[in-house]
Structures are given as C-alpha cells and as structure tokens.
Amino acid sequence: MAAMNEADIRKKLREFIKNNFLLGNDANLTDDDSFMGKGIVDSTGILEVVSFVEDNFGFKLPDEDLMPENLDSINNLVKYVTARTSAQ
Amino acid sequence: MLLHELLRNSAHKYPSKTAVVYQKERVTYLELDKRSDHCAHVLLDAGIRKGNRVALFLDNSVDYLVAYFGILKSGGVVVPLNTQFVHRELESLLDDFTPRFVITDTAHRPAFKGLIDPKFLLDTGNFIHEDSPFRVQAPDISLKDLAMIIYTSGTTGKPKGVMLSHENLFSNAASIVEYLHLKHSDSIMVILPFYYSYGNSLLTTHIKVGATLVIDNRFIFPNVVLDLMEKEQVTGFAGVPSHFAILLRKSALRKYNLPKLRYVTQAGGGMPASMIEEFTQAMPHVKFFVMYGQTEASARLTYLNPAFLKEKLGSIGKAIPGVQIRVLNEQGVEVEAGQIGEMVARGRNVMLGYWNAPEETANVLRKEGLWTGDLAKVDEEGFIYMVSRKKEMIKSGANRISPLEIEDVVSRMPGVMECAAIGIPDEILGEAIKLCVVKNGIPFSENDLLLFCKKNLAAFKMPRVVEFVESLPKTSTGKIKRSELVGKA
C-alpha cells in the first residue's frame, strides 16, 4: 500500500464518518469533537470505525488500543493512524 | 420501607462511606442524603404535591441520584426517560403522564424546547447546595403509593408506563440483595442506564445495603470501563448479552486483573450458552448469575444460582425469593414438566398497572398474577427454560423496541406505501433492525429515509439495514407476516 500523508488520512476518515454516521452532512462536526460526547457513534458504531481503519490502513488494532485517545475524534483517529502507519 | 428511606437509612449507618463514584466526584452517603434533601426542598418550594409526576431526563450521574431521591422525598413520582428520545417521542410521553416538573441538565435542556413551560423545567444546577438548613419532613407516603413510572415498549407501538409502588421496588430490591448476598462492602460497575428497570435495580439494591455505585457511561470504549473496574476494585458488574459480547470480542478483558470481582449478572434477553462458557473460562473466579425479569415486575423475577450454571446452562433458574412463578396454559392451568406455557408471576414486586391504560393492564394483570407474555417450560427439578417471547419485540442491546412504533413512524414519510421492521441477528447487539419498505411511486433515496428516521426516532431505534421490496408478505386478514420476512433476512 502506498504511504498516505496526514491530509489524505484525514480526508478519508472524515469522509467515512460523514457517510456512515452523519448521513452525508458533517457541517456540525469539528475535527476535535468527541464522537461519544456528540452521540455520533454507539458501541457497534465504534466497531465499524475499527473495521474501517483496519481495512483501509493496513494494520490490525490490538484490543488494548480501543481507547478514546486513539479513536474518539477525527483528530485522535488521524494522530493514531498516522503514528501506526508511519511505524510500519 | 419507603424507597427514599433506603438512602436515609444507609446515610445513618454509613455516613462517610462512598455512595457513588462518577468522573472526579466521590460522594458519601451523608452528602447524597443532604443533597437530595435540598432537591426535595426546591421541589416543595416550587409547589410539588404528593403523586405529582416528575420527569427525570439525565444520564447516569450523581445528579441523577440526587434528583431521584429528592423527587421521592418530596412525595413526587419519578418518571425516568431515555435521554436518546427525540422531540416527537418526548412530546407523546409528556402528553401521557403530564409531569408537574421536568428535571434535566444544560446539555439535555434543548430537547424540551416548545414542549414545556420553562418555569417547570428545573436544571440540576438548582440542587447544588450541600448544607440543607433543615431535614425534609416527608409527606405522608405509604408503601402502596406510586414511586416510579418506567416506560417500556408496548406491543401496540405506543410505550406503556409501568406504575411501580414503593413496596414493589423495595421488595424486589430486598430479594435481589438476598440472592446476590450484597453487603455494604460491595461496589458495582454501573454501565446500564438508570432509566431502565435493570439499571434502576442496581441503584435501589446498592443504596439499600450502603454499597458503592461506580458509574461510567463510556462503555462504547470497554477498556476505559475495565480500567475503572480495576482501579476501583469493584466487586460486581451487570450487563445485557451485548455487553458481554463486547467484553469478550472487542476488549482487552483477558489482560485485566480483577481479583475483587465477585460476581456478574446478566439479564435483558437470552445469552448464548457458548458465550456464558467463554466468559466463565476467562474469569473463572467470578460467579455468573443469569437472571430474567421485566419492568412490570420492578425488574427481577428469576435467577439461576451459579452453583447450577453448568448443569442447567440455558435455564433462567427459579423464582427469586418472595416471588412465585407458574407456567400456565391459556386456560390458566399449570402445565406439566416439559410442556410449554406462559410464565405467570405473583409477588409484591408486581406492578400496580399501566399508567392510563386500564385495558392493557387487565390483559396482563389477571387473577392468576402477572402474565409475562414469555413462553417457557419447566424441568422435573423446577428449573425454568424460556422458549420464546409471545410479544413481537426487537431486542437490540439493552433496548426492547416495538416494530410497530418504527413502522408507524416510517409510514408517515411521503413516498412510503408500507413497511415492516424486523430484528436480524447481530453478533454484538443480539438483534439489529432491518426495515423492508414498499415505495408508492414518489422517489426518495435510502439516505432520505434514514434522515427521516433520525429526526423521528431515538438513535437506538434506527434501522441498520434497509431493503426496498415490491410487496410485503401478508396473512389472509392483511396482517404483515413478520416471521416470513425474518426467515428471508
């Protein structure tokens, strides 16, 4: 898989959140908003996020990484995915 | 004992003991008692009268407990509402139970815009006053008086308000305390919302014995909850099957050290036996209590003693102390061992009836007791095995959802001729919602449909799968054959 830069990762993740949880309208979601705080994703929703990350960025999330600091906002996701992909 | 006396009693016995842990707050029994006194004063000053309904629209928190006991101390009736409800759902419920006040917080206040005069909308900020100048003189309340109305999905699509007295709730709490052997040294990890009867029973039982409620509303990230369980050394955990599925499949459960965890309880629908075995293998020192109940019984009706878990796997056990369960045929005659009948319950925990629904009440509260709508059989040793639910309900996570309610809402969308909602198997939730829709010619997309649902239905009622179909299978009388759709799904 060709390496993606941070902007590409951000674009891809935002697009996914927008289409899967916001019915195509992400106008009210900032990159810092907590998905949990805004009620955007539920327990199964977060598992969809995990599957998306695994399928699209080429790594497996260990169970212990399922934490808000890695997954609970666009910014957290971007930071986590960027760190994981650049470490590969 | 009256429900709020449970708190008073524990505050007297264990004043400095921690009653609740939530985020950075640790509140003692004495503090909780005083703060709820203050809440009761605010309500009494505002003119509450005995029997007035007060809606509680809060997520699990210290404020929830303060308001809960404050309402009861003032003589009011607690009506907890699911905080995911949208405007349409709230409007219909408020119209049904006509609250005198609504208690909520800043975050949830906008949900009531246009629904209630703001002067009757009380913010939890009003109750922050730790030193109440005098103790509340409780109005003249008896055990038979109404303490709570808990709304539950109705088979007709309209939620039903289950009326529970102080006696109902107290007696059920006492039974649960007895069979779980709860003591003041216990502490429970609370992830179930208090606005459901299962969550409410955690509240009443632990306050009754002076134990600690450790609240965390972030189960969406189960490792966060496990961290807290480890840190607080909780002795108990309560969940529905989807919580256990997530713990086993999507958390680092096996990497945690939880030596103080004494027991877990599971209710809210049947859990696959294989998953129970998997959990007990992962946590061999933890007792696993399978339980069964319904809101109409204040929460609990049966439990399986963990000593019989292996031998009777798949059973919901036997009646809890103080409750009698019989399995009856349609004529009200007890069936023989191995035969299928409907579970009928008797006990002080059985509800007073449904709010404003005498016919629905008469359907389930009959001379034999509470007809649960759940079909079961009993083995030779008296262990009960549930067979199926008579009522058509979708069980998704901790929620019971009426397909009729979803169909009723979706049918109002221009372009929809008719539709059917069914439950489809879901590895985590147990069931997810699938919607089969027949269009009437006006074009619209799946996204339009989902936007319409989002506006009119709480998030947990949103369909996960939508299928557009030419027609729906029907019986000769025109009723949708849901079972046929389920078979095809």
Q: What is the pTM of this model?
A: 0.90
Mean pLDDT, rounded, for B155-171: 91
Closest CA to A36 of A46, A26, A28: A46
Residue B134 pLDDT greater than 60, yes or no: no
Q: What average pLDDT does range A21-35 have in this prediction?
A: 91
What does the pLDDT look like over B447-462, one tens digit per residue?
A: 999 999 989 999 899 9
Q: Which of the four pLDDT bands, split at 50, 70 and 90, describes residue B126?
A: confident
Contact B221 A23 (CB under 8 A): no
pLDDT of residue A3: 67
| Ranges B61-70, B138-147, B386-395: which has the least confidence | B386-395
Q: Which fold has domain B394-488?
A: GMP Synthetase; Chain A, domain 3 (3.30.300)
Q: What is the pLDDT of residue A42?
A: 84
pLDDT at B138: 66
Nearest Cα residue in chain A from B247: A63
Pair B189, B216: CB distance under 8 Å: yes
Question: Cβ of A28 under 8 Å from any chain B Cβ?
Answer: no
| Most confident by average pLDDT, B150-164, B180-194, B392-406, B464-478 | B180-194
A63–B255 CB contact, under 8 Å: yes
* Partner-chain residue, chosen from A41, A50, A67, that has the shortest CB–CB distance to B223: A67
Contacts of B476 (CB under 8 A, 6+ apart): none
CA–CA gap between residue B67 and residue B47 (Å, rounded): 16
pLDDT of B242-292, one tens digit each?
Answer: 899 899 988 999 999 899 999 999 998 888 888 899 999 999 999 999 999
Closest CA to B449 of B489, B486, B416: B416
A36 vs B contacts (CB less than 8 Å): 218, 220-221
β-strand pairing of B236-239 with B187-190: parallel
Taking residues B181-193, what's their average pLDDT?
97
Subunit contact B223:A63, Cβ cutoff 8 A: yes
Average pLDDT of chain B, as a whole number: 92
B302-326: string of b/e by CB count within 10 Å (b at 16+)? bbbebeebeebeebbbbbbeebebb
Interface mutation vs chain B, best among A28, A40, A42, most B CBs within 10 Å: A42
Using one digit for the tens of pLDDT, what is the confidence trace for B83-99?
999 999 999 999 999 99
CB contact under 8 A, B252 and A41: no
Rounded Cα gap, residues B273 and B232, in angstroms: 30
Six-digit token string for B215: 């609240």
How is domain B3-378 classified at the architecture level of CATH?
3-Layer(aba) Sandwich (3.40)
Of B223, B242, B459, which is closest to A66 when you measure between CB atoms?
Answer: B223
Please give the ipTM for the structure prediction.
0.84
What 3-state DSSP class applies to B452?
Answer: helix
Question: b or e along B403-425 (b: 16 or more beta carbons within 10 Å of the residue's beta carbon)?
Answer: bbbbbbbbeebeebebbbbbbbe
Tell me if A35 is assigned to some domain: yes
Question: A24 in contact with B at a CB cutoff of 8 Å?
Answer: yes
**Is A63 part of a structural domain of the chain?**
yes
Determine the distance in angstroms separating the CA of A71 from the nearest CA of chain B, rounded to an integer. 9
The verdict on a CB contact (< 8 Å) between B220 and A42 is yes
Query: Which of A66, A68, A72 faces B250 most closely, judged by CB atoms?
Result: A66
Residue A16 lies in a domain: yes
Residue B389 is predicted with a pLDDT of 72
Residue A59 belongs to some domain of the structure: yes
Residue A1 lies in a domain: no
Instruction: Enter the DSSP assignment of B462.
Output: -
pLDDT classification of B115: cutoffs 50, 70, 90: very high
Percent of chain B with pLDDT over 90: 79
Q: Which residues of B touch A41 (CB under 8 A)?
A: 220
Does the pLDDT value for residue B135 go beyond 80?
no
The CA distance from B257 to the nearest CA of chain A, in Å, is 14
Residue A79 forms part of a structural domain: yes
Mean pLDDT of B219-238: 96
Q: Is B282 on the interface with A (CB under 8 A)?
A: no
The better pLDDT of the pair B232, B134 is held by B232
Question: Pick from B153, B143, B103: which is nearest to B4 by CA?
Answer: B143
Residues paired with residue B439 on neighbouring β-strands, in sequence order: B416
Provide CB contacts within 8 A for B421, sequence distance 6+: B394, B401, B403, B406, B407, B410, B433, B434, B435, B436, B463
Using a CB-CB distance cutoff of 8 angstroms, which residues of chain A are in contact with residue B252? 62-64, 66
Instruction: List the strands of the sheet with B212-215, edge to edge.
Output: B25-28, B18-22, B212-215, B187-190, B236-239, B263-266, B287-292, B302-304, B318-319
> Residue A80 and residue A10: Cα distance in Å, rounded?
11
In A, minimum Cα distance to B221 occurs at A67
Taking the Cβ of residue B13 and every Cβ of chain A, the question of whether any pair is shorter than 8 Å is answered with no
User: Is the CB of residue B376 less than 8 Å from the CB of residue B386?
Assistant: yes
- B66 three-state secondary structure: helix
Domain boundaries, chain B: 3-378, 394-488
* Share above pLDDT 70 across residues of chain B, in percent, rounded to a whole number: 96
Interaxial angle between packed helices B446-456 and B403-410, expressed in degrees from 0 to 180 and rounded to the nearest 10 = 120
Confidence band, pLDDT 50/70/90 cuts, at residue B153: confident
Contacts of A27 in chain B (CB under 8 A): none
Task: Provide the 3-class DSSP secondary structure of residue B224.
Answer: helix
Please say whether the beta carbons of B161 and B149 come within 8 A.
yes
- Centre a 10 Å sphere on the Cβ of residue B38 and count the other Cβ atoms it contains: 21
Given a contact cutoff of 8 angstroms between Cβ atoms, the answer to whether B387 and B373 are in contact is no
In a mutagenesis test of the A interface, which of B220, B464, B465 is the best target, namely the one with the most A β-carbons within 10 Å? B220
CB contact under 8 A, B454 and A44: no
Asked if B297 and B173 count as a contact pair (C-beta separation under 8 A), the reply is no
Interface touch A23/B447, C-beta < 8 Å: yes
Return the residue in A19, A22, A23, A34 with the most chain B beta carbons within 10 A, the one to mutate for interface testing: A23
- Whether residue A21 is predicted with pLDDT greater than 70 in this model: the reply is yes
Residue A81's domain is classified under what CATH number? Answer: 1.10.1200.10
A58 dihedral zone (left: phi>0; alpha: psi -120 to 50; beta)? left
B79 Cβ neighbours under 8 A, 6+ residues apart: B53, B54, B55, B56, B97, B99, B148, B149, B150, B151, B161
Q: Which residue of A has its CA nearest to B429?
A: A44
Summarised one tens digit per residue, pLDDT across range B165-178 is: 999 999 999 999 99
Which residues on chain A are in Cβ contact (under 8 Å) with B247?
Answer: none
pLDDT confidence of B25, banded at 50, 70, 90?
A: very high
Question: If you measure CA to CA, which chain B residue comes closest to A38?
Answer: B107
pLDDT of residue B55: 98
Contact A67 B221 (CB under 8 A): yes
B99: closest CA among B42, B57, B144, B41? B57
- The domain in which residue A33 lies consists of 6-86
Pairing verdict, β B212-215 and B160-165: unpaired
Q: What is the pLDDT of residue B405?
A: 87
> Closest partner residue to B451 among A23, A42, A44, by Cβ?
A23
Residue A1 has pLDDT above 60, yes or no: no
Return the structure tokens found at B468: 């557009």
**Number of separate domains in chain A:** 1
